[in-house]
Amino acid sequence: MLGGMGEVVRPDRESQWLKGVLDLAVLAVLAREGSAYGYSLLRSLADAGLPGLRGGTVYPLLGRLEDDGLVQSEWTVADGAPARRYFALTPAGRQVLAEGRDGWSSFADRMTRALEV
């Protein structure tokens, strides 16, 4: 797998990085799109450069975000189709996203400097 700067990144290392920030990526998708259901959220994450995520990873994460009050969900029913749960950001989620975005920028800058040879 190729990383952003062209180096080969071990998949297990990248998945470790992702574990720490996937919640922010999910919050950011919801901030951009207003609301999304599970599958559309996975597609948006793939479009944003995070392909290959599975439902078994994203739904428990959404559950934890909802427990923490950062997202809220609502069921919608369409004829002949299973009920879908749409997720949307709460004000608390918007605040955590803003803080997380700042924190990530700062961390990424410091890490980039730390990795300079």
Q: Give residues in contact with another protein (CB under 8 A).
A: 37-39, 54-56, 59-60, 63, 75-77, 81-85
How far apart are alpha carbons 44 and 25 in whole angstroms?
10
Three-state secondary structure along 61-114? HHHHHHHCCCEEEEEECCCCCCCEEEEEECHHHHHHHHHHHHHHHHHHHHHHHH
Shortest distance (Å) from residue 87 CB to another protein = 11
Shortest distance (Å) from residue 57 CB to another protein = 9
Shortest distance (Å) from residue 90 CB to another protein = 17
Nearer to another protein, 88 or 101 (CB): 88
Which tokens sit at 86?
A: 């749409």
Nearer to another protein, 27 or 42 (CB): 42
Which tokens sit at 92?
A: 């608390």
Nearer to another protein, 20 or 55 (CB): 55
